[in-house]
Amino acid sequence: MKLKFISFLFLLLFNLPINAQEGWFWQNPLPQGNHLNGVKFFSSEIGWVVGYHGTILKTTDGGENWITQESGTTNDLTSVSFFDSCNGIAVGGDFFTNWSEGVILVTTNGGDRWISHLNLENIPLFAVSYINMNSWIAVGVGGIILKSTDNGSTWNQQVSGTQRPLDEVFFSDSVNGVVFGRFGTILKTSDGGVNWILQSDGNPSEGWLHDVSFIDLNNWFAVGVSGIIRKTTDGGYTWQIQQSGTFELLDGVFFLDLYTGVAVGSSGKILRTNDGGINWITQISGTSVIPLSDVFLFNANSAIVVGRVGFIVRTSDGGINWYSDSGPTVFDLYGVSFSDEKTGTAVGQVGTILRTTNGGINWELQESGTTRRLYSVSFSDNQNGMCVGDGPTIIKTTDGGANWISLQIIYPNYTGVSLIDPSTAVVIGERTILRTTDGGLTWTDYYTGFNTFLWDVDFIDAFNGTVVGEPGIILRTSDGGNNWVNQQSGMMGVLSGVSFTDINHGIAVGGDWNDISQQYEGIILMTTDGGMKWTKKFTGTNNKLNSVVCTDIYNATAVGNNGIVYRTTDGGQTWVLQSSNTNYNLFDVEFTDQNSGTIVGYGGTILRTNTGGNHFSNQTKSFLLYQNYPNPFNSSTRIKYFLPIIETRSSTTVKIIVYDILGREIATLLNEEKPAGTYEVQFSAANHPSGIYFYQLRAGDYSETKKMVLIR
């Protein structure tokens, strides 16, 4: 996608930045970009927000600043509740695969440490609330109601009498409580949640109600699809329909008292009432594209609203003005290019161009002159760059992006660009390869003969370049693009990224269907002879890989869908799965040396690392064997394990063996030396019957065994 910049002097003189953040951290949106589902404040200063990918944020200054707390889970969190400033519970689960995993997290120190407690029903949960410091109620999918009487350590299921999803729970005192669910389902208790009476099992014809705000046991406000707002003054027996003035989905509502309330929803919608809902007034939230999910009012003037892509907005004047510090964009970013460690440009939807000159500490919007989608950007130095996208769109700059000039081209869509020097560039797209040697004044079209899309291009110098596309296309030139040779990739899927470090060593990534496992899989292809032979490497992921960058013949990073980041430090022989802190699709990655890298993706995501993506301080001294996923599984499953740093040796002999229920060894998945890191292996059970199996990790003197279930 761009001519790779490798600072060899930097590699010789500089190892790791002092006091730098480790791993991958957010630069946009801020403080992070995962979708936010719930907000709860204990006081006007102290509050928490929870969201996707195990996100927990805490503020101690009323929302002006937020810190990320470690949740220990990557499942989505939907609700959080605190009895006091120390004791709280967050709940959630896996809502996107098979709805078979529930999460309960408990803290007794304000979130400095969150402890996962077993949900025996293993069902995703939507809401949690306290009865007193020790007693809590959680509700969720399938009409489940769980109760704890020991501050969240153990939970018992209560009889609800409904299969409807239950969305909210409220207690007015230690005995009287209400649960509210989908389509207006209502359950009540008068004995602290021991017994529940089903008052209403809901009515789908009346619409999907998403949230409810309880003022007391009788007075509630509910909101939902198509701008629905309903009010009850008799505990849900009768409802009054209120006029919201919108058909947008309303996803969250909060009432301070009988009169003052705020509702939020799709397209940045914020509605406010000061008269108990007789009149609802639309307020300007600062966004017209971001769905808002929850709201909390401190008093009549101050409120916090949260939403998708990490959006947090607050007011201190009753909503006359709403303020957000989330960042310059929430539009998808598809391409990124750095000309040195500090200077970079990212591009994406609606003509978005962002520029940094300080390594991403600040990103500033530039005027692109277009609202079309920009897919790729390449800079040959700090001043000269080129972007391509839909339209057709090719724009260039000679002053670091202060001004972007449109170049007139006749073809419809462009997907990749490599700017070799200020005058020479190669552009690819739908059925075409273009080359210019005069800064874009004139272009030569090299028709490829393929009626398909080309997705990425990489030139290591003015002569040697590679283009990849679909189905499994790899094209190679050694004369600057005058002639292209079709190389054999050995696959028919999509190749979406390519990177070379020299004439011989390169990596291509993408995705393809595996006929053996009957699953889609991420693809990594490697060559050490300039593409005469491409070798497929096992990734262990079912997610398409979108981009790859090599900094030298040993170090490379690949990114893909669902937050996938893979890293190799041994020339691609082994790939380590790194934590990106998100499940978003990641579209492009750029490194200027083996440590300094940037990833861009969905929802304006910009992630940065100064440590090659590694978490050194978090590397435990213990070996870890994780539960296989998925489990139970049908034909194949993945097994993840962690090897710690051992001072006396640089690597460890690792074995992973699978046994049947009789203790017979049926497969050896791994038997080799491995350095410290996190790895995955795949177990294919195509030739084995349904039943219980065991897998064992052996590493030095360490041994651990876990159970897995195969279901045909």
DSSP string, 556-585: EEEEEGGG-EEEESSTTSS-EEEP-S--S-
**Structure-token match 């391409």, residue found:** 335
Round to whole Å and give the CA distance between 568 and 554. Answer: 7
pLDDT tier at 121 (50, 70, 90 boundaries)?
Answer: low
CA 288 to chain centre: 22
**Structure confidence at residue 629 (pLDDT):** 79
Are 162 and 173 in contact by the 8 Å Cβ rule? The answer is no
pLDDT tier at 53 (50, 70, 90 boundaries)?
Answer: very high
pLDDT digits (tens, 9 = 90+) for 301-319: 999 999 999 999 999 999 9
Are 678 and 693 in contact by the 8 Å Cβ rule? The answer is no
Rounded to 5, what percent of the chain is helix, strand, coil?
5, 45, 50
Round to whole Å and give the CA distance between 285 and 21. Answer: 32
Q: What is the mean pLDDT of residues 370-396?
A: 95
The span from the first CA to the last CA of the chain, in angstroms, equals 43
| E strand or H helix at 462 | none
Q: What is the mean pLDDT of residues 590-617?
A: 90
Order of strands, sheet of 606-609, starting from the edge strand that comes earlier in the sequence: 25-28, 606-609, 597-601, 586-591
pLDDT digits (tens, 9 = 90+) for 590-600: 999 988 999 99
Are 35 and 293 in contact by the 8 Å Cβ rule? The answer is yes
Residues 6+ apart with CB under 8 A from 285: 264, 268, 269, 270, 292, 305, 313, 322
pLDDT digits (tens, 9 = 90+) for 548-587: 999 998 899 999 999 999 999 888 888 999 999 999 999 9
Report the phi/psi class of residue 613: left, alpha or beta, with left for phi > 0 and alpha for psi in -120 to 50: left
Q: Identify each DSSP E strand in 360-505 by its residue range.
A: 364-366, 374-379, 385-389, 393-397, 405-407, 414-419, 425-429, 432-436, 444-445, 454-459, 465-469, 474-477, 485-487, 494-500
Are 183 and 225 in contact by the 8 Å Cβ rule? The answer is no
**Structure confidence at residue 701 (pLDDT):** 79
**Structure confidence at residue 409 (pLDDT):** 76
- Give the CA angle between residues 595, 598, 599 to the nearest 5°: 130
Nearest by Cα to 437 from 445, 426, 428, 448: 426
Q: What is the mean pLDDT of residues 358-377?
A: 96
Q: What is the mean pLDDT of residues 254-262?
A: 97
Reply yes or no on whether the pLDDT at 530 is more than 90.
yes
pLDDT tier at 263 (50, 70, 90 boundaries)?
Answer: very high
Round to whole Å and give the CA distance between 114 and 71. Answer: 6
Round to whole Å and give the CA distance between 398 and 425. Answer: 14
**Structure confidence at residue 472 (pLDDT):** 94
Are 587 and 595 in contact by the 8 Å Cβ rule? The answer is no
Q: What percent of the chain clears pLDDT 90, i.e. is strictly above it?
A: 74
175-193 burial, b at 16+ Cβ within 10 Å, e below that, comes to ebbbbbbbbbbbbbbeebb
Reply yes or no on whether the pLDDT at 675 is more than 70.
yes
The DSSP bridge partners found for residue 180 are 168, 186
pLDDT tier at 119 (50, 70, 90 boundaries)?
Answer: low
**Structure confidence at residue 12 (pLDDT):** 27
Reply yes or no on whether the pLDDT at 8 is more than 50.
no
Mean pLDDT of the chain: 90
Radius of gyration of the CA atoms of the chain, in A: 27
Are 608 and 27 in contact by the 8 Å Cβ rule? The answer is yes
Q: Rounded to two decimals, what is the model's pTM?
A: 0.83
**Structure confidence at residue 649 (pLDDT):** 62
Each as own residue / partner, the long-range contacts of residues 386-390 (CB below 8 Å, 24 or more positions apart, any chain) are 386/417, 386/419, 386/425, 386/427, 386/440, 387/335, 387/347, 387/353, 387/417, 388/414, 388/415, 388/416, 388/417, 388/427, 388/429, 389/347, 389/351, 389/413, 389/414, 390/414
- Per the structure block, which two tokens stand in for 411? 């073809």
* Residue 465 CB-half CA count within 13 A: 32
C-alpha distances in Å from residue 247, one per residue of 143, 230, 379: 28, 14, 45
- Give the CA angle between residues 317, 318, 320 to the nearest 5°: 70
C-alpha distances in Å from residue 8, one per residue of 5, 13, 229, 458, 610: 9, 9, 62, 19, 16
pLDDT digits (tens, 9 = 90+) for 78-95: 999 999 999 999 999 987
- Per the structure block, which two tokens stand in for 294? 């929850």
**Structure confidence at residue 616 (pLDDT):** 58
- Per the structure block, which two tokens stand in for 685? 């059970």
pLDDT digits (tens, 9 = 90+) for 428-485: 998 889 999 999 999 998 876 777 889 999 999 999 999 999 999 999 999 998 899 9
Reply yes or no on whether the pLDDT at 4 is more than 60.
no
Are 297 and 303 in contact by the 8 Å Cβ rule? The answer is yes
Q: Identify each DSSP E strand in 437-583 by its residue range.
A: 444-445, 454-459, 465-469, 474-477, 485-487, 494-500, 506-514, 519-527, 535-537, 545-550, 556-560, 565-568, 576-578
Domains of the chain: 26-206 (2.130.10.10), 207-327 (2.120.10.30), 332-447 (2.120.10.30), 466-616 (2.130.10.10), 624-710 (2.60.40.1930)
Reply yes or no on whether the pLDDT at 521 is more than 50.
yes
pLDDT tier at 621 (50, 70, 90 boundaries)?
Answer: low
Min mean pLDDT across 99-113, 146-160, 635-649 is at: 635-649
**Structure confidence at residue 11 (pLDDT):** 29
Reply yes or no on whether the pLDDT at 136 is more than 90.
yes
Min mean pLDDT across 50-54, 150-154, 230-234, 621-625 is at: 621-625
Reply yes or no on whether the pLDDT at 10 is more than 80.
no
**Structure-token match 């209400």, residue found:** 178
DSSP 121: T
Residue 22 phi, psi dihedral angles, 5° rounding: -100, 160
- Selected residue with higher pLDDT from 520 and 441: 441
Reply yes or no on whether the pLDDT at 17 is more than 50.
no
Are 48 and 40 in contact by the 8 Å Cβ rule? The answer is yes
The DSSP bridge partners found for residue 296 are 304
Round to whole Å and give the CA distance between 5 and 337. Answer: 9
Round to whole Å and give the CA distance between 525 and 636. Answer: 22
**Structure confidence at residue 194 (pLDDT):** 92
Reply yes or no on whether the pLDDT at 495 is more than 50.
yes
**Structure confidence at residue 679 (pLDDT):** 82
Q: What is the mean pLDDT of residues 381-408?
A: 95
